[in-house]
Amino acid sequence: MTSIEYLRQFRLGGYALFDFTLAFLGAILVAPILSWLFKKIGILIPKKNWVILMLPISVLVHILVGKITPLTEYFLDPNGHYLVKLIVLICCVLGGMNIKRITPTKRLSHG
């Protein structure tokens, strides 16, 4: 058993805690960069919103790349798993709050 397999064996409700922890830590680490990049193109997205949007974004990415994880499978199941759907929907709504269009930031010219 590799160390990743060992870490993924710890589960809560069928979900690997390692996967969720890694995904949220990744969102926390890249949130400042993503917020800065979007601010450059005129969209203000608070850093906390990236963390909240992590679940909906991960479901979307998994669908786009064709890697169906248990969470993605439960989300796409038309006949059940309503709690998963509700949590992802709540994350979409809360993650979409406080996102604003602004004037794009421009580089200061020294000359």
**How many degrees, rounded to 5, is the angle at CA 68 between CA 62 and CA 69?**
95
How much of the chain, in percent, has pLDDT values that exceed 90?
68
Does position 11 have pLDDT exceeding 60, yes or no? yes
pTM attached to this predicted model: 0.81
Does position 1 have pLDDT exceeding 90, yes or no? no
User: Nearest 5°: phi and psi at 79?
Assistant: -115, 20
Diameter of the chain measured on Cα atoms: 63
CA distance 40 to 32: 12
E strands, 1-111, in order: 11-12, 15-16, 43-44, 100-101
Does position 111 have pLDDT exceeding 50, yes or no? no
pLDDT digits (tens, 9 = 90+) for 42-88: 999 999 999 999 999 999 999 999 999 889 999 999 999 999 999 99
